[in-house]
Amino acid sequence: MIVCKLCRVKGRVQGVFYRASTQEQAEKYNVTGYARNLRDGSVEVLACGDAPAVEILCDWLWQGPLHAEVDSVECVPIQEKAPRRFTTG
């Protein structure tokens, strides 16, 4: 069963390869969606795929890449048509 979660990641998450690292992790677990910077300095992540894979990615969002400092991650399930791949933008 495919599920989708929309997450907002706050902290030092822009300018530290957070989006690219999230894409790398997503592709590793066959999760589709996107990671994009928001104007307030946070990153929005849409994660769609098998429920266990989406949970693994959502847990990873707390870690992020080496220089990230994550303060909070809020994920909510949403009804969304799963994209065909994972993008950053």
* C-alpha to C-alpha distance for 12 and 80, rounded to whole angstroms: 28
Catalytic annotation present for 85: no
Kindly provide the b/e burial profile for residues 35-47, where b requires at least 16 CB atoms within 10 angstroms of the residue's own CB: bebeeeebbebbb
Name the active-site residue from 8, 19, 84, 85: 19
Residues pairing with 4 in the sheet: 48, 78
Helix (H, G, I), strand (E, B) or coil at 48: strand
Catalytic annotation present for 37: yes
Report, as residue numbers or ranges, the catalytic residues: 19, 37
